[in-house]
């Protein structure tokens, strides 16, 4: 790695550091930080989609939905009501203005959910009992999973995983990432077990395994979108890392699955 690229990656890591601070502080600061990141993420995806002249979503409506979601501090049930209401309104637009079609409206809504709502599961986990500990499972599973997948694939990878979506990823790397995520979350569970109660240790390993799987789907989903629209990175916002969605693609999928596991399996 040349010095210029290395320096840019260090700068990119520095720009990401406020999120780590917000994770320690939590509360309103974490929610505000997540909201800002979501806006940038939505901008990136809308920009990629609009690079194809056949698609014409309305980003302003997507941003408006996200603002309403955060200002009203909606829970997941009320979010469903919001999505239904906005879907109803969006489907009226192609009738009023023939510049847009129904596919454009579905893309507008889909980007709001994918690059907007998915991020909200991070503060959603933090708000739960023991959330200041549990929220770290998202990043431990994603970071360790990505790291182990990279090195396992680099040194042992021979069989392609999804060559038409991401040519460099291998089955061996995928297995390595799954092991890294599972062990990382399990070990974290052992470390924090003296600070929390009522959560059997096995759940941390299971969360790590599920997150390891879904995190890889998140990565491949982002790659699939970029490949479809023939772009390398979502943006150059984070030097050495690409865009927000390049850096958080696996994290947001992990956040969603961990939230659901904690809510419906552990019941907290």
* pLDDT tens digits, 181-199: 999 999 999 999 999 988 9
> Looking at residue 198, what DSSP letter applies?
S
**Of residues 192 and 22, which shows the higher confidence score?**
192
Domain that holds residue 257: 3-265
**CA pair distance 250, 245, nearest whole angstrom:** 9
Those residues with Cβ within 8 angstroms of residue 197's Cβ, 6 or more apart along the chain or in another chain: none
For residue 1, what pLDDT is reported?
47
- Model confidence at 17: pLDDT above 60: yes
Q: Record the tokens describing residue 182, joined without a space.
A: 């599972």
Domains held by the chain: number: 1
Those residues with Cβ within 8 angstroms of residue 221's Cβ, 6 or more apart along the chain or in another chain: 249, 253
- Asked whether 42 and 111 are in contact (CB, 8 A), the reply is yes
Question: What pTM did the predictor assign?
Answer: 0.92
pLDDT band at 9 (very low <50, low <70, confident <90, very high): very low
For residue 7, what pLDDT is reported?
43
- Asked whether 107 and 57 are in contact (CB, 8 A), the reply is yes
Count of other CB atoms within 10 angstroms of residue 81: 10
Q: Which of 245-248's residues contact partners 24+ apart within 8 Å by CB, and which partners?
A: 245/41, 245/44, 245/45, 245/115, 246/222, 247/16, 248/37, 248/41, 248/119
Among 65, 77, 75, 76, CA closest to 105: 65
For residue 54, what pLDDT is reported?
92
What percent of the chain has pLDDT above 90? 80
Those residues with Cβ within 8 angstroms of residue 37's Cβ, 6 or more apart along the chain or in another chain: 19, 119, 244, 248
Helix (H) / strand (E) element for 178: namely helix 171-192
Among 35, 39, 30, CA closest to 128: 30
């Amino acid at each position: 790695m040349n010095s210029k690229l290395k320096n840019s990656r260090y700068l990119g890591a520095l720009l990401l550091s406020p999120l780590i601070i917000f994770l320690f502080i939590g509360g309103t600061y974490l929610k505000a930080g997540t909201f800002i990141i979501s806006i940038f993420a939505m901008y990136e995806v809308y920009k990629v989609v609009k690079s194809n002249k056949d698609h014409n979503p309305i980003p302003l409506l997507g941003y408006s939905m996200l603002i309403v979601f955060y200002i009203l501090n909606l829970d997941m049930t009320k979010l469903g009501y919001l999505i239904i209401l906005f879907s109803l309104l969006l489907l009226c637009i192609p009738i009023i203005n023939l510049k847009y079609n129904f596919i454009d409206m579905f893309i507008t809504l889909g980007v709001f959910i994918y690059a907007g709502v998915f991020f909200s599961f991070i503060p959603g986990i933090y708000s739960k009992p023991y959330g200041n500990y549990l929220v770290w499972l998202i990043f431990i599973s994603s970071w360790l999973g990505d790291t182990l997948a990279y090195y396992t694939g680099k040194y042992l990878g021979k069989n392609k995983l999804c060559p038409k979506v991401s040519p460099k990823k291998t089955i061996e790397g995928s297995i390595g990432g799954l092991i890294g995520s599972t062990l990382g979350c399990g070990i974290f569970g052992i470390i924090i077990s003296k600070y929390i109660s009522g959560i059997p240790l096995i759940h941390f390993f299971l969360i790590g395994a599920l997150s390891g799987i879904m995190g890889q789907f998140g990565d491949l989903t982002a790659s699939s979108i970029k490949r479809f629209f023939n772009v390398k990175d979502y943006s150059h916002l984070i030097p050495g890392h690409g865009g927000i969605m390049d850096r958080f693609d696996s994290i947001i999928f992990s956040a969603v699955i961990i939230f659901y596991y904690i809510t419906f399996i552990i019941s907290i």
